[in-house]
């Protein structure tokens, strides 16, 4: 009984991590950048949804606005901050990403105040629980899992079957050869940021439905944990991000369930250390060896 | 068709290509031969826009392609099969070929695929396999087929024989001749100078970034200095 509701709980959390982790992994796969501003995109998505609902916009439209807002913001960040550094050393890009993350957090603090605001989650998903013969099932968890599955299916189709998706795979595998095919790398990079941010936007809404608080720093820990999930799955790998996200979510809930809730964050980062020590390529990561 | 004048390319401070001029006429097979590091690949990368020259001009079909981005150059009909093949190892053979036709309308892909499969029956057999599972010779065929999917008027081949067994080299060169017969102009870069000169109309000999000799391929095959340096006596 308890097991099932805990399992759902873990899958719910893991789904959110997976959605966010995909953004890290896809961007890394394309331009080898750990986009540490990705978590803060989620925070902006949360505020967009919060303010639009508060000003009377229909919740469904508010969700769409949050997702589109995240996409536009991510594309803007890429154009303004990362694109000029395309041929710079990777460390410059990384430092820039950390800078963008700080910028977003501080701008949000300046505009919206440092305190947390409560998120009207019940206007998006009815927060009541279902009860089946003593098992409490959270509707939010079910919706989260279903939305995540649909998102993953759409993403898989996009990456496997569409022209742009194939171009993404080509660029992530061999940038030079992709250029020789006539692929416009700038378009592909923009597209990748937009897709990653759309998933982050969906993740933002689902996260706010689980923890209905929005604050300027809400994205940083969520972002870091999703980053751990991406590394665990193998950074750059799309199925890896999905599996890694679920694994981290389940691990957190397991740690809480055995009564060590104070240790959840610690366990997640311990996983990062273990993965980086013993299997830096994660579950599905490409090895660094190149075939000659 | 292609006119290169006074091209200078640098890698940082290293002057890799020194004031090179050459031309290719429609319907020719032209080869650049020279030792490792002579600058052959650098020239091709500059022509396809992957590298930028410091000075000089590149005209292709009477258009200045010198400052164009690589995707625009492909669209103009210049395709480049890179050294080491660079197939997309995790994508299937057919997806690789589709990528080759990236600049073309999707309705034009199917007939081109058929054409490539006629030229390379092996690729048809293996079209659902990922490119990484192919042998070296098959990967070279895929790289060439992929480049042909953009319907180029000028095909640049960088070391197509590299690492292949003699029998495969023969096959690859037969295909090059076939592509040429079907109307594609060829710029061939080779360390295997004997093979390259045997199918080319004209050749240029490169030494440390400079063209030191240019002549009809037949003359180069018989030139004493060339024989000594590149044809093993």
Joined together, the tokens standing for residue A96 give: 């820039």
**Do the beta carbons of residue A231 and residue A276 sit within 8 Å?**
yes
Those residues whose C-beta lies under 8 Å from the C-beta of residue A78, and which sit 6 or more positions away, are A189, A190, A193
The residues in A 184-223 lying below 8 A from B, measured between CB atoms, are 184
Residue A287 has pLDDT above 70, yes or no: no
Q: Does A177 touch chain B (CB under 8 A)?
A: yes
**A170 and B50 in contact by Cβ < 8 A?**
no
Q: Categorize the per-residue pLDDT at A289 as very low, low, confident or very high, splitting at 50, 70 and 90.
A: very low
Note whether residue B127 is domain-resident.
no
Q: CA-nearest residue of chain B to A174? A: B88
Residue B106 resides in a domain: no
The pLDDT, as a whole number, for residue B226 is 86
CA distance, residue B74 to nearest chain A CA (Å): 5
What are the two backbone dihedrals, phi and then psi, of residue B205, each rounded to the nearest 5 degrees? -105, 125
Q: H or E segment at A56? A: none
Residue B171, in any domain of the structure: yes
- The whole-number average pLDDT for the span B101-124 is 95
Contacts with A, B 179-218, CB within 8 Å: none
Selected for mutation to probe chain A from B68, B88, B156 (highest A CB count within 10 Å) is B88
**Positive or negative: CA dihedral B206, B211, B212, B216:** positive
Does residue B63 lie in a domain region? Answer: yes
B193 and B226 in contact (C-beta within 8 Å)?
yes
Q: Is the pLDDT of residue B197 over 50?
A: yes
Task: Give the model's pLDDT for residue A131.
Answer: 81
The pLDDT tens digits for B62-72 are 899 988 999 99
- Does any domain span residue B128? no
Q: Which of A96-105, A131-140, A209-218, B70-79 has the lowest mean pLDDT?
A: A131-140
B136 part of contact set with chain A, CB < 8 Å: no
Query: Is the pLDDT assigned to residue A236 strictly greater than 90?
Result: no
User: What is the Cα gyration radius of chain A?
Assistant: 19
Identity of the residue in B82, B89, B98 whose CB atom sits nearest the CB atom of A180: B82
Q: Cα–Cα distance between B96 and A166 in angstroms, integer?
A: 9
User: What is the predicted pLDDT for the residue at B233?
Assistant: 61
Does residue B78 form part of some domain? yes
- Indicate whether A18 pLDDT > 60: yes
For the segment A59-118, what is each residue's pLDDT rounded down to a tens digit? 999 999 999 999 999 999 999 999 999 889 999 999 999 999 999 999 999 999 999 999
Tell me if A180 and B147 make a contact (CB, 8 A cut-off): yes
Contact A291 B89 (CB under 8 A): yes
Which of A268, A277, A224, A272 has the alpha carbon at shortest distance from A249?
A268
CB contact under 8 Å between A182 and B71, yes or no, is yes
- Which residues in chain B touch residue A169, judged by CB atoms under 8 angstroms apart? 88, 90-91, 95
Residues of A in contact with B71 (CB under 8 A): 179, 182-184
Residue A126 — very low, low, confident or very high, per pLDDT cuts 50/70/90?
confident
Confidence at residue A291, expressed as pLDDT on a 0 to 100 scale? 38
Domain of residue B162 covers 2-86+136-230
Here the tokens at position A15 are 């789904």
Q: What pLDDT, on a 0 to 100 scale, did the predictor assign at position A2?
A: 78
A288, pLDDT greater than 80: no
Residue B15 maps to a domain? yes
Q: If you average pLDDT over residues A234-250, what whole number do you get?
A: 93
Question: Across the strands, what pairs with B185?
Answer: B154
Per-residue pLDDT tens digits for A55-66: 999 999 999 999
CB B86 within 8 Å of CB B143: yes
Q: Which two tokens stand for residue A266?
A: 């610690």
Domain count, chain B: 1
Cα dihedral across residues B189, B194, B233, B164: positive or negative: positive
Task: Give pLDDT, residue A135.
Answer: 79
Residue of A nearest to B80 (CA): A180
For B139-159, what is the mean pLDDT?
A: 97
Answer whether residue B104 is part of any domain.
no
CATH code where residue B64 lies: 3.40.50.300
In angstroms, the Cα distances linking A246 to A14, A44, A96, A267, B128 are 4, 24, 29, 15, 31
* Contact with chain A for residue B130, Cβ under 8 A: no
Is the Cβ–Cβ distance between B203 and B31 less than 8 Å?
yes
Whether the CB-CB separation of B121 and B137 falls below 8 Å is answered with: no
Strands B202-207 and B29-34: parallel
Predicted confidence band of residue A292 (pLDDT cuts 50, 70, 90): very low
Select the residue of B69, B88, B146 nearest A173 (Cβ to Cβ).
Answer: B88
Question: What mean pLDDT do residues B122-150 have?
Answer: 96
């Amino acid at each position: 009984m308890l097991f099932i509701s805990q399992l759902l709980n873990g899958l719910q959390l893991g789904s959110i991590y997976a959605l966010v982790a995909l953004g890290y992994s896809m961007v890394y796969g394309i331009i080898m950048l750990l986009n540490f501003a990705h978590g803060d995109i989620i925070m902006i998505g949360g505020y967009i949804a919060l303010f639009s609902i508060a000003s009377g916009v229909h919740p469904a439209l508010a969700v769409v606005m949050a997702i589109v807002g995240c996409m536009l913001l991510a594309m803007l960040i890429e154009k303004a901050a990362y694109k000029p550094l395309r041929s710079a050393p990777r460390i410059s890009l990384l430092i820039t990403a950390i800078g963008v993350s700080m910028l977003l957090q501080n701008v949000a603090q300046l505009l919206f105040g440092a305190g947390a605001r409560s998120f009207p989650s019940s206007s998006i998903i009815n927060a009541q629980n279902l009860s089946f013969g003593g098992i409490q099932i959270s509707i939010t968890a079910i919706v989260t899992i279903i939305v995540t599955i649909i998102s993953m299916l759409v993403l898989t189709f996009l990456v496997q079957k569409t022209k742009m998706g194939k171009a993404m795979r080509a660029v992530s595998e061999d940038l030079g050869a992709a250029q020789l095919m006539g692929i416009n790398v700038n378009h592909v990079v923009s597209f990748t940021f937009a897709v990653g941010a759309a998933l982050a936007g969906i993740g933002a809404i689902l996260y706010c439905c689980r923890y209905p608080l929005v604050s300027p720093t809400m994205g940083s820990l969520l972002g870091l944990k999703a980053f751990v999930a991406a590394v665990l799955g193998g950074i750059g790998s799309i199925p890896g991000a999905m599996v890694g996200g679920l694994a981290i979510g389940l691990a957190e809930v397991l740690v809480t369930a055995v009564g060590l809730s104070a240790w959840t964050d610690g366990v997640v980062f311990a996983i990062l250390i273990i993965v980086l020590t013993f299997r830096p390529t994660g579950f599905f990561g490409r090895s660094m060896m190149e075939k000659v | 068709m292609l006119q290169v004048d006074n091209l200078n390319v640098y890698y940082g401070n290293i002057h890799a290509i020194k004031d090179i001029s050459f031309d290719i006429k429609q319907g020719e097979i032209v080869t650049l031969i020279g030792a490792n590091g002579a600058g052959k690949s650098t020239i091709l990368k500059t022509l396809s826009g992957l590298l930028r020259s410091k000075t000089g001009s590149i005209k292709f079909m009477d258009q200045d392609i010198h400052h164009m981005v690589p995707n625009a150059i492909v669209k103009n009909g210049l395709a480049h099969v890179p050294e080491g093949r660079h197939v997309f190892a995790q994508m299937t053979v057919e997806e690789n070929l589709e990528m080759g036709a990236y600049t073309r309308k999707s309705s034009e892909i199917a007939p081109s695929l058929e054409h490539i499969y006629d030229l390379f029956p092996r690729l048809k057999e293996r079209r659902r396999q990922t490119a990484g599972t192919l042998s070296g010779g098959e990967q070279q065929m895929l790289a060439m087929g992929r480049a042909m999917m953009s319907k180029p008027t000028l095909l640049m081949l960088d070391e197509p024989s590299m690492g292949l067994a003699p029998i495969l080299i023969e096959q690859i060169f037969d295909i090059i001749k076939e592509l040429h017969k079907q109307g594609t102009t060829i710029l061939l870069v080779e360390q295997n100078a004997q093979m390259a000169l045997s199918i080319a109309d004209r050749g240029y000999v490169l030494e440390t970034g400079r063209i030191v000799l240019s002549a009809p391929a037949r003359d180069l095959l018989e030139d004493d200095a060339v024989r000594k340096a590149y044809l093993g006596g």
